[in-house]
Amino acid sequence: MIEIKNLHVSIGERKILDGLNLTVKDGEVAAIMGPNGTGKSTLSYVISGREGYDVTEGEVLLDGENILGLEPHERAAKGVFLAFQYPVEIPGVATMTFLKAAVNAQRRSRGEEELQTPDFMKLIREASTKLGINMDMLKRALNVGFSGGEKKRMDILQMSLLQPKFGILDETDSGLDIDALRIVSEGVNALRSPNRGFLVITHYQRLLDYIKPDTVHVMAKGKIQKTGGPELALELEKSGYRDYVGEAA
Amino acid sequence: MTVQAIDKKSEAETAFAGAFEAMKGKGAPALRQASWEFFTRKGLPTRRVEAWHYTDLRASLRTVAPLGAPGAITLPPTTLGRVRLVVADGAFRPDLSDVASLPAGVELSSLADVLAKEDASVLTALGLPENAGADAVIALNAALMQDGVVLRIAPATEVAETIEILLLSSGGEACSSFTRSLVIVGDGAKAKIVETSLALSPSGAQENHVLAFAIGAGAEVEHIADIGPQSESAIRLFSLLITAQAKAAFKSLGFVEGGGLVRRQIFARLAGEEASVSLDGISLLGGKDHADTTLVVEHAAAHCQSRERFRSVLDGQSTGVFQGKVVVRPGAQKTDGSMQSRALLLSENATMNNKPELEIFADDVVCGHGATCGRLDADQLFYLVARGLPKHEAEALLIEGFAGEIVEALGEEAVRDIYFERIRSWLGKRGGAK
Ligand SMILES: Nc1ncnc2c1ncn2[C@@H]1O[C@H](COP(=O)(O)OP(=O)(O)OP(=O)(O)O)[C@@H](O)[C@H]1O
Ligand SMILES: [Mg+2]
């Protein structure tokens, strides 16, 4: 379970998150929707531990433990996973090399044995097949020259290999074609389990047709403005955010 | 500013006179004498010499170590079954070399023998090539050359074995050495030559090495210059001279792993149509290392191609220099040249000087160059740590990727493995970024 309590975050002088509260229980899929520039990606970075943000107040608890003081890799080992809005290209680093390094780094952090190459290959072959990723692609440098949709798939592949406790999907649907959207959603759905929570950031109902959320949260002006069930997303499709952004927007 | 101040010889410049006295009777008197006079006129290069702007050799080389002499040596095992020719502390050592297993079609002489016999055919090739003629360090080498190897590869011979010229420094008492080696590659021949600079134990060695390739028409040469670690007080100068005739191809990787002052200077001349050179480089520098690569590629004929790709990784208080000049002579139409130097700074105190240049005197050419200098990318680092890699591991992976892109271009997997391993072990020694 992840509990975000009264989170205040600034970048330099500018306040981005302003007392945000949100709880995502194990087994729950929570969707966050909100206008551009509201701080959704900021929230996902702060949870996963990126530098450059001042957390001036509040806490982020993963199963009761405040993770804000941990290094990003430690959070990852505890099960935080972020599928990036914009996955970065990493020239010179073969995708396969990276995947193995990531899987084994997390295993080491948790005091588990490293996976040997044959076991790892088996794991990766299965996961790639499910996501329609060609094994040849894994020989290429990570994300370099991958299409937008391929990059998103690669992030979901990583999620299925790393089996996180809490997965954040930041606009994973953007850039996906209709078939890819279905494949990626199936990949996510396959990972849904009673002891794993998800935070799905999206602008469109379309994704939520595939990944059915338990809760929907409207975020604006640095906090959660309204919480409801799946019907809230449908409502937003019709009316937009005008009720939430107010005059101050 | 007084005239005396410029004319006055430094202690080191004066000390070289002693070495010249010792060497001048050892063959090629005319070449030695002319080179010595040229050197004494020019003196050791300072920042005022454009090609040496970032490496003030006169200031660095204060005293001259005595000339090296052959001694007892225990060699490390050979690498990948290469045919090894050992030049230790300035002397070719047939006793330590794989002379008996030289491949067919390859003829070997020691430079000392060639000089003693005044072998005219080789002596001409040993003289200064036109585009390197103005360099005082090469002139000093010609005046003081002690020994080296001369390899003649018969036309149309495809030499499968890799020949390694091992430039060995035995360590202990610092000594200076001047070696000159020559590889004459006959028309249509193929050869793989590795030049390795290895210190058996670290010392303040002062080395001045020249390796010249005369590559016949249609011949292909693969070359690696492997410059391993040395003491902080060492000064190593490597001049690589290449003349490529029509349709000849020269492909080279320079791998520099720090060690005091290292200067690589490359003068490549594309003398015949459709010749090509590809010069790659990786420098891994830390501590107080200073590594300078200065190259001139001269397109003297039409339809030639040149490629230079250099990557420098700089940690600690190290300094890197890349100066590259592509010169396209009048008439060298349809020249295709591209030069790139990229540097990765891992520390606040490291410095990179990047200076790529083009000098084009023909109108129908495609030439480009680029130079970048930056730190590890924060977005890339975060991507990796967010996936569970500890910071130092994430950095190592990015650095390996940066340098490894050059290693990937090597043809043989076993050789690629060697250099990936060298990069990893360098990274292992450096620990996390500061
Ligand atoms: N490094 C930064 N420096 C300054 N401002 C920043 C920085 N990063 C984000 N911001 C600002 O913070 C605000 C929130 O950005 P964020 O990316 O979190 O929004 P978002 O809700 O994810 O938007 P979108 O829906 O467009 O993805 C924006 O106004 C953005 O310009
Ligand atoms: Mg965003």
- What pLDDT score was predicted for residue A237? 87
Beta carbons of A34 and A199 less than 8 angstroms apart: no
Tokens representing A123 are: 């794991």
- What pLDDT score was predicted for residue B7? 61
Give which of B313, B380, B387 to mutate to test A binding, by max A Cβ within 10 Å: B387
Total beta-carbon pairs less than 8 A apart between chain A and chain B:
78
In this prediction, the residues of chain A whose per-residue pLDDT falls under 70 are 247-249
A196 against B117, higher pLDDT: A196
**Nearest-angstrom CA–CA distance, B282 and B405:** 10
**Nearest-angstrom CA–CA distance, A228 and A218:** 9
| Average pLDDT across chain B, whole number | 93
Residue A16: CB within 6 Å of ligand 1?
yes
How many structural domains comprise chain A?
A: 1
Residue A90: CB within 6 Å of ligand 1?
no
**Nearest-angstrom CA–CA distance, B287 and B392:** 18
- Model confidence at B20: pLDDT above 80: yes
pLDDT level of residue B409 (50, 70, 90 thresholds): very high
What global pTM score does this model have?
0.93
Q: What is the mean pLDDT of residues B236-258?
A: 97
Taking CB atoms and an 8 Å cutoff, what residues of chain B touch A73?
385-386, 388-391, 394
The CA distance from A27 to the nearest CA of chain B, in Å, is 22
Taking CB atoms and an 8 Å cutoff, what residues of chain A touch B379?
88
- What pLDDT score was predicted for residue A149? 87
- Model confidence at B107: pLDDT above 60: yes
Tokens representing A241 are: 């955010």
The CA distance from B403 to the nearest CA of chain A, in Å, is 8
Mind listing the pLDDT tens digit for each residue in B278-312? Answer: 999 999 999 999 999 999 999 999 999 999 999 99
**Nearest-angstrom CA–CA distance, B146 and B113:** 11
Q: Say if the Cβ atoms of A90 and B389 lie within 8 Å.
A: no
Helix (H, G, I), strand (E, B) or coil at B306: strand
**Nearest-angstrom CA–CA distance, B399 and B226:** 19
Q: Say if the Cβ atoms of B389 and A105 lie within 8 Å.
A: yes
- What pLDDT score was predicted for residue B431? 62
Q: Hey, is the C-beta of B200 within 8 angstroms of any chain A C-beta? A: no
CA B288 from centre of chain: 20
Residue A104: domain span? 2-245
Q: Say if the Cβ atoms of B386 and A97 lie within 8 Å.
A: no
Q: Say if the Cβ atoms of B384 and A49 lie within 8 Å.
A: no
Beta carbons of B43 and B154 less than 8 angstroms apart: no
Q: Which of residues 13-52 of A touch B (CB under 8 A)?
A: 48-52
Name the residue in chain B with its Cα closest to that of A101: B389
Q: Which of residues 406-425 of B touch A (CB under 8 A)?
A: 408
Residue A39: CB within 6 Å of ligand 1?
yes
- Model confidence at B396: pLDDT above 70: yes
**Nearest-angstrom CA–CA distance, B18 and A118:** 65
Q: Say if the Cβ atoms of A92 and B402 lie within 8 Å.
A: yes
Q: Who's near B322: CB < 8 A, 6+ residues apart?
A: B281, B293, B294, B310, B312, B341, B343, B352, B353, B354, B355, B356, B371
Place of tokens 């690629």: B416
Ligand 1 nearest-atom number relative to CA A44: 18
- What pLDDT score was predicted for residue B5? 45
Pairing of strands A2-11, A14-24: antiparallel
Angle between helices B391-407 and B378-386 (to 10 degrees): 120
Neighbours of B384 (CB within 10 A): 28
The CA distance from B52 to the nearest CA of chain A, in Å, is 32
Q: Say if the Cβ atoms of A88 and B377 lie within 8 Å.
A: yes
Q: Hey, is the C-beta of A141 within 8 angstroms of any chain B C-beta? A: yes
Alpha carbon distances (Å) from B164 to B40, B87, B102, B194: 33, 10, 11, 5
Nearest ligand to the CA of A218 is 1
Q: What is the DSSP letter of B52?
A: G
pLDDT level of residue B357 (50, 70, 90 thresholds): very high
Beta carbons of B378 and B345 less than 8 angstroms apart: no
**Nearest-angstrom CA–CA distance, A155 and A84:** 7
Residue A44: CB within 6 Å of ligand 1?
no
Q: How do the domains of chain B map onto residue ranges?
A: 11-375, 376-434
The CA distance from B161 to the nearest CA of chain A, in Å, is 30
Percentage of the residues of chain B whose pLDDT score is greater than 90: 88
Percentage of the residues of chain B whose pLDDT score is greater than 70: 95
Angle between helices A148-162 and A178-191 (to 10 degrees): 10
Q: What is the mean pLDDT of residues B311-319?
A: 97
Alpha carbon distances (Å) from A203 to A54, A199, A237: 26, 13, 9
Pairing of strands B83-88, B91-92: antiparallel
- What pLDDT score was predicted for residue B228? 96
Return the CATH number at A178. 3.40.50.300
Range of weakest confidence among A87-96, B5-14, B253-262: B5-14
- What pLDDT score was predicted for residue B6? 52
Taking CB atoms and an 8 Å cutoff, what residues of chain A touch B403?
92
Q: What is the DSSP track for B64-108?
A: -PPBP------PPPPSTT-EEEEEETTEE-GGGS-GGGPPTTEEE
Q: Which of residues 158-217 of A touch B (CB under 8 A)?
A: 158, 162
- What pLDDT score was predicted for residue B152? 96
